[in-house]
RNA sequence: GGGCCGUUAGCUCAGUCGGUAGAGCACCGGACUUUUAAUCCGGGUGUCACAGGUUCGAAUCCUGUACGGCUCACCA
């Protein structure tokens, strides 16, 4: 048998001693089941009007200042922080000494007492009664510099949340933003639905899926890379405005704007086209900026050649609109139109030192050139009318272009939307083209053929518009952060602490 | 996957030319009844990420590995 006290230095001996003392006196903090508490924010608000009122409150001890026979300490709950004053005169000599000897920064305590203002003007609680509600057995990260090590911040996010207040607030805002998004969508007449995460065909995007297996069906399944094709089946089924906000999974690399699992908002509206979705997107983002951040202007800092550059992203609507070919033309330095032949595009790409496989289609060539231009877009810009061969689910606009837009902000793709292709024959052919392309270019991902989806279209899907928004990216943007890791509570990270109990190790060795 | 950078006490960091590791906070002992990064006195608690190599001697130089960050590629 192992015990926690000896397990991997999990427990600090001095801290553990305090807990043992408590238990010996019959005051095991872990026996406490509940505690009637007033939120600190409420105490603060009421103290503006009336002092001397008695409260019970609780929170985590964040700082202790001992002064012999009296002590100050700060406790914090999810609503705020307040100073607690504890005097031997008031609580009794023995009780005071016991608390003073056993309280550590990080403990969770419950107190009862009256509000008053100290000589230095700090609102405090004159404690009459105090108890430990939980004991900390390891020291918290440093109070002044906080926790900076990115690895520990992600692996032990609870510590990050605990000691870095702005991190805590960023997450609070992220989830407020999601709530506001749901309420916005409801106001626009959309209802929230849920569609499969386990899918037999990972459709709706071109990305590598995670693979899993259902034992009883003896079936290989994929974690969804997008909910798109299921949501559009609902349009066939008679739903007119639906949205889903949920996790999607892509088996790809991790970066400041990519996580293997991320949150996507997808919305579909029957009888609308992509201009409607542009309007919705713009209004949604402006609404969120106003409600969550209270401003359209978001300051950012970046480094270029070792220089710190401060700049501002302005979310004030209306957003700029540019065509895909305009951006490609700007990047190329000469005009690219639908008539520009492949040979010419190859020349341009080579001049721009873009690597080619030689297998690219017209749209893929334009895409490579366009990508160079996209990076420089900082202010919100709708890029419209994408090449058809890279948009196999979008409705045709011209021979080579589709009614599709993406919203680029701060160099990031925030949203992707189109007038949905509802012609089953065209859809069938587009899927076939994707299959062909996949046969030629083995390195890229293409949309997978989904015959069942084509079958659904054969029952008539109304004309419709669809939208996808990267919620993590949006949350990072609105909070002025340059990595989605700052708004994903537990970003995907390789496990490092892989501890097993000795018994398990032996079992493993034997197996 | 490529390139660059990082990993030193619980946390934040310093560590000279290669000479057996140091500060602040935290922690331990003591003083202190209105402090708030409390203060004052005393105490260093370490697998210098890991494994090799060079060297009389390595936190420091070299190689490899692990993990992380940035970036490019990939990818919405």
SS3 sequence, A375-406? CCCCCCEEEECCEHHHCCCECECCCCEECEEE
- What mean pLDDT do residues A316-328 have? 95
- Give the Cα separation of A381 and A140 in Å (integer): 44
pLDDT band of residue A144 (cuts 50, 70, 90) is confident
Question: Is the predicted pLDDT of residue A498 greater than 60, yes or no?
Answer: no
- What mean pLDDT do residues A161-189 have? 96
Question: Is the predicted pLDDT of residue A283 greater than 80, yes or no?
Answer: yes
Residues 391-410/A with CB within 7 Å of nucleic chain B are 406
pLDDT of residue A499: 43
pLDDT of residue A504: 39
In terms of domains, do A279 and A393 share one? yes
CB A396 within 8 A of CB A464: no
Pick from A233, A234, A213: which is nearest to A223 by CA? A213
- Give the Cα separation of A419 and A252 in Å (integer): 27
**What is the spatial distance, in angstroms and rounded to an integer, between the CA atom of A388 and the C1' atom of B70?**
35
pLDDT band of residue A298 (cuts 50, 70, 90) is very high
Average pLDDT, chain A: 92
In terms of domains, do A119 and A170 share one? no
Q: What is the pTM of this model?
A: 0.92
CB A204 under 7 Å to nucleic chain B: no
- Give the Cα separation of A472 and A104 in Å (integer): 36
Question: Is the predicted pLDDT of residue A452 greater than 80, yes or no?
Answer: yes
In terms of domains, do A267 and A137 share one? no
- Give the Cα separation of A253 and A260 in Å (integer): 7
How many helices and strands in chain A, by DSSP H and E?
16, 18
CB A147 under 7 Å to nucleic chain B: yes
Using the CA of A153, which nucleotide's C1' is the nearest one?
B68
Report the CATH number that the domain containing residue A133 is assigned in CATH: 2.40.50.140
In terms of domains, do A125 and A180 share one? no
Question: Is the predicted pLDDT of residue A505 greater than 70, yes or no?
Answer: no
Question: Is the predicted pLDDT of residue A501 greater than 70, yes or no?
Answer: no
Considering the domain boundaries, does residue A504 fall inside one? no
Q: Which residues contact A393 (CB under 8 A, 6 or more apart)?
A: A204, A228, A418, A420, A421, A427, A430, A447, A466
Question: Is the predicted pLDDT of residue A509 greater than 50, yes or no?
Answer: no
Instruction: Give chain A's domain count.
Output: 2
Using the CA of A93, which nucleotide's C1' is the nearest one?
B33
In terms of domains, do A298 and A442 share one? yes
In terms of domains, do A213 and A280 share one? yes
Q: Give the range of the structural domain holding residue A271, as residue numbers without chain letter.
A: 163-319+379-486
What percentage of chain A has pLDDT greater than the value 70?
A: 96
pLDDT band of residue A8 (cuts 50, 70, 90) is confident
Question: Is the predicted pLDDT of residue A307 greater than 80, yes or no?
Answer: no
**What is the spatial distance, in angstroms and rounded to an integer, between the CA atom of A155 and the C1' atom of B8?**
21
Task: Using alpha carbons, list the distances in angstroms from residue A108 to A30, A86, A123, A236.
Answer: 11, 16, 20, 54
Q: Determine the protein residue whose CA lies at the shortest distance from the C1' of B72.
A: A255
For A238, which DSSP code?
T
pLDDT of residue A142: 86
Question: Is the predicted pLDDT of residue A422 greater than 70, yes or no?
Answer: yes
The per-residue pLDDT for range A221-253, each reduced to its tens digit, is: 999 999 999 999 999 999 999 999 999 999 998
In terms of domains, do A285 and A427 share one? yes
CB A290 under 7 Å to nucleic chain B: no
Pick from A483, A477, A412, A499: which is nearest to A154 by CA? A483
- What mean pLDDT do residues A493-497 have? 76
- What mean pLDDT do residues A165-190 have? 96
Pick from A200, A58, A49: which is nearest to A134 by CA? A58
Residues counted in chain A: 511
- Strand (E) or helix (H) holding A59: strand A54-67
CB A254 under 7 Å to nucleic chain B: yes
Question: Is the predicted pLDDT of residue A500 greater than 70, yes or no?
Answer: no
- Give the Cα separation of A288 and A30 in Å (integer): 41
CB A181 under 7 Å to nucleic chain B: no
- Six-digit token string for A109: 């305590």
Chain B: nucleotides under 7 Å from a protein CB? 1, 6, 10-13, 24-28, 31-39, 66-76
Q: What is the CA radius of gyration of chain A?
A: 29
- What mean pLDDT do residues A333-361 have? 89
Task: Using alpha carbons, list the distances in angstroms from residue A56 to A84, A100, A111, A224.
Answer: 12, 20, 6, 48
In terms of domains, do A135 and A177 share one? no
């Amino acid at each position: 048998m192992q015990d926690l006290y000896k397990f991997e230095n999990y427990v600090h001996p001095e801290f553990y001693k305090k807990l043992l003392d408590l238990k010996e006196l019959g005051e095991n903090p872990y026996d406490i089941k509940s505690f009637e508490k007033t939120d600190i924010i409420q105490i603060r608000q009421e103290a503006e009007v009336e002092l001397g009122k008695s409260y019970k409150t609780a929170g985590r001890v964040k700082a202790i200042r001992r002064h012999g026979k009296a002590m100050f300490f700060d406790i914090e709950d999810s609503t705020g922080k307040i100073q607690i004053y504890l005097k031997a005169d008031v609580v009794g000599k023995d009780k005071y000494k016991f608390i003073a000897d056993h309280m550590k920064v990080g403990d969770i305590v419950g107190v009862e007492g009256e509000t008053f203002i100290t000589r230095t003007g700090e609102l405090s609680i004159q404690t009459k009664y105090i108890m430990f509600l939980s004991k900390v057995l390891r020291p918290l990260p440093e109070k002044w510099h906080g926790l900076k090590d990115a690895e520990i911040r992600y692996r032990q996010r609870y510590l990050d949340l605990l000691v870095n207040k702005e991190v805590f607030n960023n997450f609070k805002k992220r989830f407020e933003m999601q709530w506001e998004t749901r309420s916005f969508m409801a106001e626009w007449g959309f209802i929230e639905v849920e569609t499969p995460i386990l899918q037999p065909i990972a459709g709706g995007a071109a990305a590598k899926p995670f693979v899993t297996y259902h034992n009883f069906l003896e079936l290989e399944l994929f974690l969804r890379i997008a909910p798109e094709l299921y949501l559009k089946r609902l349009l066939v089924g008679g739903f007119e405005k639906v949205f889903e906000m949920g996790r999607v999974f892509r088996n790809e690399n991790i970066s400041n704007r990519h996580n293997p699992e991320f949150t996507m908002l997808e919305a579909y509206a029957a009888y609308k086209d992509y201009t409607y979705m542009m309007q919705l997107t713009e209004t949604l983002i402006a609404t969120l900026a106003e409600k969550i951040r209270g401003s359209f202007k978001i300051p950012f800092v970046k480094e270029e050649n070792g220089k710190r550059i401060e700049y501002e992203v302005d979310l004030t609507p209306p957003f700029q609109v540019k065509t895909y070919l305009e951006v490609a033309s700007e990047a190329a330095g000469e005009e690219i139109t639908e008539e520009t032949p492949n040979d010419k595009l190859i020349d341009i790409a080579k001049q721009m030192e873009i690597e080619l496989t030689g297998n690219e289609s017209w749209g893929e060539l334009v895409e490579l050139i366009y990508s160079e231009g996209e990076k420089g877009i900082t202010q919100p810009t709708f890029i419209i009318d994408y090449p058809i061969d890279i948009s196999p689910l979008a409705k045709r606009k011209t021979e080579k272009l589709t009614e599709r837009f993406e919203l680029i902000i701060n160099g990031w793709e925030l949203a992707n939307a189109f007038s949905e292709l509802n012609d089953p024959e065209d859809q069938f052919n587009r899927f076939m083209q994707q299959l062909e392309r996949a046969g030629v270019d083995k390195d890229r991902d293409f949309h997978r053929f989904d015959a069942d989806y084509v079958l659904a279209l054969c029952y008539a899907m109304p004309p419709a518009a669809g939208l996808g928004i990267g919620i993590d990216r949006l949350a990072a943007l609105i909070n002025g952060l340059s990595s989605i890791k700052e708004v994903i509570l537990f970003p995907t990270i390789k496990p490092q602490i892989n501890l097993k109990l000795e018994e398990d190790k032996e079992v493993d060795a034997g197996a």
